[in-house]
Structure 1
């Protein structure tokens, strides 16, 4: 089952993250309230994690059992080629950081487990490191819990989510937290186990969706929920980075997936759907592309103004992402999915 209209929302989240990583003298940060939203727009990663859990259930709900080998091969084919491409693009401007240790951490996807080294090389890759944990666990969760219809699984998941929120927000106001750019900051914001709750509540939402799918026009409710997300980012001073926004993101994902109103027609428009398709490329290469473009604009053309750089950067990022999607992501994904892995017989 493919939910076409949800694909474009990935691009919205990716673009918000792109803006949040841009220099803060950008014109968008000079607009009251809008600046508050983009300063916290890295919460888009939380949306990715929740949506990932939701989509996994939707994609595999008809299977009696997930084959581990095929699942891991397909996940590897889906994300790893561009994950590596993001690192290689960084070589053009940040080659001094390419030590054996850094390359090993990045390629193995272990960086998010090592507070202090989470931002190694292409730093958006930390979230892919977290996704590796989700992908490792999902077949076991599906085969031994979800398909058996465990009646208490929703209680366990909600308790994990609730416990993570309490711990995360208490930790930030405790003496153990030393503020931004510290090991304690990297631990509370990026450690994989503190994001597992997001994937699990996404799984739970997917299970509920498959059991209760009822197409209706939810345009009004979706707009209200999206407005609530923006207002929460502006006025509520809590840590949303570790899944707290699930209280709004899950209804948004659920209702968009059930919606048959005007928003679904808009989000299913082919150009917008395509932006959603290239959103992974947009996210994973946006920092290397920014560094390369800045080097060209600053050193060759002497263009320094952030607003001008930004207006050149976004079209360039979209073009590079579309190229990588067509020339690398799709063909490599299709090729790797066709590769057959011989299973050794057990005696």
Structure 2
């Protein structure tokens, strides 16, 4: 089952994260309420985690059982090559933080488990480190709970989600939390166990979706939900990073997936759908591409403002992401599809 209209939302989330990692002198940060949204745009990663759980169920829900070896091989082949390419691009202009231990941590996807190491090297890779945990768990969850319609997983997921939200919001106001760019920050924001609730929430949302797939015009509801998300980011001083936004993201994913209104026609437009397809490449290489572009402009003695650099950077990033998608991600996906048919 393919839900074309949801694919474009991955691009929106990735672009929000890209902007949040750009220089804060960017013109978007001169607009008060808009700046508040992008300063908290790391919730885009939370959206990815929830959507990942949702799509995983959609992709596998017809299977009676998932084979561990085949699943791990398929996921590894689809996600790991670009993960490594992001690191290689990073090394073109940066060597800070390099040592053999950090390299082993990054390549093994273990960096997010160690506070103080989550952001080593190509730092967007911290979230892929968390995704590795999701992929490790999913066949077990599916075979033990989802395929057998075991209701206890709903209770387990609810307890994990609630516990995570209470801990996350009390932790950032406690004496243990020392602020951004500290080990305590990495423990509270990047530690993989604090993100399991997001993946589980996405899984359970997927289970509900496949049972009821009535399509209606939900354009107005989607717009209202998007506005609620933006207003929450601006005015509600809570820690949304570890899954709290599931209360908005899950209904949003549901409504977009079931919508047959004008927004679905727009989101399903091939260029927009394609932008979602390249969103993983865009996310994992956006920091190295930014470093390379800035180094190239400096070597060419161009003294552009951050606003001009941004206007150059976005199309360059999209182009490189499309090239990586076509040259690496898509061929591997096609190879895996052909193998699975046999």
Normalised to the residue count of structure 1, the TM-score between the two structures is 0.96
RMSD (CA atoms)? 1.2
Q: Could you tell me which residue of structure 1 aligns to residue 287 of structure 2?
A: 287
- CA deviations on 1:313-337 (whole Å, 9 max, x unpaired) are 0000000000111112112343466
> How far is the alpha carbon of 1:49 from its aligned partner?
0.1
1:16 corresponds to 2:4 = no
Mean Cα deviation higher: 190-199 or 330-339: 330-339
- CA deviations on 1:46-97 (whole Å, 9 max, x unpaired) are 0000000000111000000011111111101111010000000011111343
> How far is the alpha carbon of 1:301 from its aligned partner?
3.0
Mean Cα deviation higher: 328-337 or 244-253: 328-337
Structure 2 residue matching 1:79: 3-state secondary structure? helix
Write the distance in 1 (CA, Å) between the matches of 2:188 and 2:31: 29
Write the distance in 2 (CA, Å) between the matches of 1:95 and 1:178: 27
Write the distance in 2 (CA, Å) between the matches of 1:148 and 1:336: 27
Q: Is 1:112–1:192's contact at 8 Å kept on the other side of the alignment?
A: yes
Q: Where has structure 1 moved over 3 Å in runs of 4 or more?
A: 332-340
Write the distance in 2 (CA, Å) between the matches of 1:73 and 1:338: 14
> How far is the alpha carbon of 1:33 from its aligned partner?
0.2
Q: How many residues align?
A: 340
Q: Could you tell me which residue of structure 2 aligns to residue 300 of structure 1?
A: 300
Q: Could you tell me which residue of structure 1 aligns to residue 161 of structure 2?
A: 161
Mean Cα deviation higher: 37-46 or 89-98: 89-98
Write the distance in 1 (CA, Å) between the matches of 2:77 and 2:338: 10
> How far is the alpha carbon of 1:299 from its aligned partner?
2.8
Structure 2 residue matching 1:95: 3-state secondary structure? coil
Write the distance in 2 (CA, Å) between the matches of 1:115 and 1:248: 29
Q: Is 1:73–1:336's contact at 8 Å kept on the other side of the alignment?
A: no
Q: Is 2:18–2:283's contact at 8 Å kept on the other side of the alignment?
A: yes
Write the distance in 1 (CA, Å) between the matches of 2:207 and 2:38: 32
Write the distance in 1 (CA, Å) between the matches of 2:153 and 2:94: 45
Q: Is 2:145–2:151's contact at 8 Å kept on the other side of the alignment?
A: no
Q: Could you tell me which residue of structure 2 aligns to residue 171 of structure 1?
A: 171
CA separation of 1:174/1:30 partners in 2, compared to 1, >3 Å: closer, same or farther?
A: same
Write the distance in 2 (CA, Å) between the matches of 1:91 and 1:183: 24
CA separation of 1:333/1:249 partners in 2, compared to 1, >3 Å: closer, same or farther?
A: same
Q: Could you tell me which residue of structure 1 aligns to residue 48 of structure 2?
A: 48
Write the distance in 1 (CA, Å) between the matches of 2:202 and 2:338: 29
Write the distance in 2 (CA, Å) between the matches of 1:310 and 1:98: 27
Q: Is 2:297–2:303's contact at 8 Å kept on the other side of the alignment?
A: yes
Write the distance in 1 (CA, Å) between the matches of 2:302 and 2:262: 45
CA separation of 1:296/1:142 partners in 2, compared to 1, >3 Å: closer, same or farther?
A: same
> How far is the alpha carbon of 1:156 from its aligned partner?
1.8
Write the distance in 2 (CA, Å) between the matches of 1:82 and 1:339: 21
1:73 corresponds to 2:73 = yes
Write the distance in 1 (CA, Å) between the matches of 2:310 and 2:112: 29
